[in-house]
Structure 1
């Protein structure tokens, strides 16, 4: 199965959660303990930007039993992600040094999540739960101490809250909003290239929403800051959870008011206008000069793909 089959237009990675989040169970510690001890319970074991997976011949399995996760060295404490067919699914973390000791074993591997998602190693329907596991486990690892008084905090409500025993402050996971936008002018779209991208890759511009800022204003500000383009007619398309470490990509479209690009070299290596035909070649990896668009697992691919297909539909 190709990436285009795994992530058809309108369905990027990390969307389409198949779990019942069962939030009403988060405060029921006895029920959560019972669910965790159920042999049907499963867990994703997170190590930084990777998952610990069970090797089974030439294949690998990301969804572990709780016993398997513990035997591989998972930290105590689970994050309750929800239920599937009545069985609990959890997120668990593992210390970096413990994960490093697993490398080289025949029965287990530590694989980078992005690569597994792009290659289809993890079934697409599991990726939303994986994203939740990675986001929450990372949050707990970074928030062990109360930012209010400095005391060590404790995990509560199935991992969806931390509580300070000293000052009684409650702390909750945060999601950072990011706008990502397809800016067009006539039959051309704007794409940029960052230094971290692979050779020849261009993508939609993106940036974090700032405090007290609307989505529309964030789109306009980021496009002007990065490329010197003023835009209008901002419209919403769709969102994509992005667990690096815990963002929500807000896909938008906008119409450019000018064409002269002024690149912010601290953000981008390059920014250019591309017509629909060239964009189609880029997102299908058929460009004669080796230029490429974003991978189908990313929302940027779907913003571009919809725009390209709109042209095809209009001329059909």
Structure 2
């Protein structure tokens, strides 16, 4: 059976990495009114209008504000870029700017999604990577926004990505009415929200052992077999979510740390009934968590964050 997450993957844009230091090429693209530019300030991007459903506001270079220019690449013959602004220059209550989470519904299933993820990921990295870790000097943006160079010691910084596992843990005879999956919720979430478990990779681990450790730390459940499902870039702020399917060998839930407020086992019947009533609210369709849940369930489910 094909993993459902594969069906929502989008063809990537050509990032044109060979041109990131080609000043003449970059200038020509910036002078082309057909080039599309997205203004980004930290984790927020300018959107069309002020309504919650507004998508990313792509404009011609001449309409873009001044800021650090970042080459995103090309798609279907059009060049895409971003302009990075100081986050402090955008008011928190300015509704013409939206966080990535607010933009996701507008770009779900759209070819713009990888471009927006690329732009926000670079902006987040630049916003938090300001000084050289070796000598403390201020860093300068180079390579069309994809390198930070130290003018004092020459050390270079590159966009950072933290590997994280996100897993659907199941127990019972596969496909049976008694088979259950394990979901958890954090205290900060609104009532009814549950999701698959997740956690960050630590040095020296295999990804399978990261899954086993995280599940045990959060719920006390022991995991045996683990297999790869798919992956998703998630620049909030800089992660690669590696989806895994895991088989539990114990079922007693004992929350060892304070990361989760609650964790529960759900049969398919319980999940369907509670999702339909709104008692259980599952992650949104663009997330790999949703794909993991629906892959296990075997069909689309109602409701989402």
- Settle same-fold status: TM greater than 0.5: yes
Q: 1:262 to 1:94 in 2, by over 3 A?
A: same
Please list, as runs of the form range in 1=range in 2, the aligned pairs for 1:164-243 lying within 5 A after superposition.
164-186=150-172, 187-243=179-235
* 8 Å CA contact retained: 1:117, 1:124: no
* 8 Å CA contact retained: 1:12, 1:296: no
Q: 1:276 to 1:101 in 2, by over 3 A?
A: closer
Instruction: Tell me the residue number matched to 2:33.
Output: 39
Give 3-state SS (helix, strand or coil) of 1:124's partner.
coil
Give 3-state SS (helix, strand or coil) of 1:100's partner.
coil
Q: Deviations over 1:128-171 (max 9, x none)?
A: 11011001111112222211111122212111111112111111
* 8 Å CA contact retained: 2:243, 2:288: yes
Aligned equivalent of 1:251, options 219, 239, 243: 243
Deviation at 1:297, TM superposition (A): 1.6
Distance in 1 of aligned mates of 2:50 and 2:252: 54
Q: Deviations over 1:34-81 (max 9, x none)?
A: 2122111112222233211243999655222222221xxx42x21111
Deviation at 1:205, TM superposition (A): 0.4
Instruction: Tell me the residue number matched to 1:111.
Output: 98
Instruction: Tell me the residue number matched to 2:120.
Output: 134
* 8 Å CA contact retained: 1:53, 1:60: yes
* Range moving further from structure 2, 156-165 or 296-305: 156-165
Instruction: Tell me the residue number matched to 1:269.
Output: 261
Deviation at 1:265, TM superposition (A): 5.0
Deviation at 1:29, TM superposition (A): 2.1
Distance in 1 of aligned mates of 2:188 and 2:72: 32
Instruction: Tell me the residue number matched to 2:302.
Output: none
Distance in 2 of aligned mates of 1:42 and 1:289: 40
* 8 Å CA contact retained: 1:179, 1:215: yes
Deviation at 1:26, TM superposition (A): 1.4
Q: 1:59 to 1:280 in 2, by over 3 A?
A: same
Q: 1:45 to 1:289 in 2, by over 3 A?
A: closer
Scaled by the length of structure 2, the TM-score of the pair is 0.87
Which runs of no fewer than 5 residues in structure 2 stay unpaired? 173-178, 300-305
- 4+ residue segments displaced more than 4 Å: 56-61
* 8 Å CA contact retained: 1:45, 1:93: yes
Task: Check if 1:304 corresponds to 2:290.
Answer: no
* 8 Å CA contact retained: 2:32, 2:61: no
Distance in 2 of aligned mates of 1:60 and 1:177: 28
Q: Deviations over 1:220-251 (max 9, x none)?
A: 00000000011011100000110101110000
* 8 Å CA contact retained: 1:227, 1:262: yes
Task: Check if 1:10 corresponds to 2:26.
Answer: no
Deviation at 1:121, TM superposition (A): 5.9
* 8 Å CA contact retained: 1:238, 1:252: yes
Distance in 1 of aligned mates of 2:129 and 2:63: 26
Scaled by the length of structure 1, the TM-score of the pair is 0.84
Aligned equivalent of 2:46, options 40, 44, 52: 52
Aligned residues: 291
Which runs of no fewer than 5 residues in structure 1 stay unpaired? 1-7, 311-316
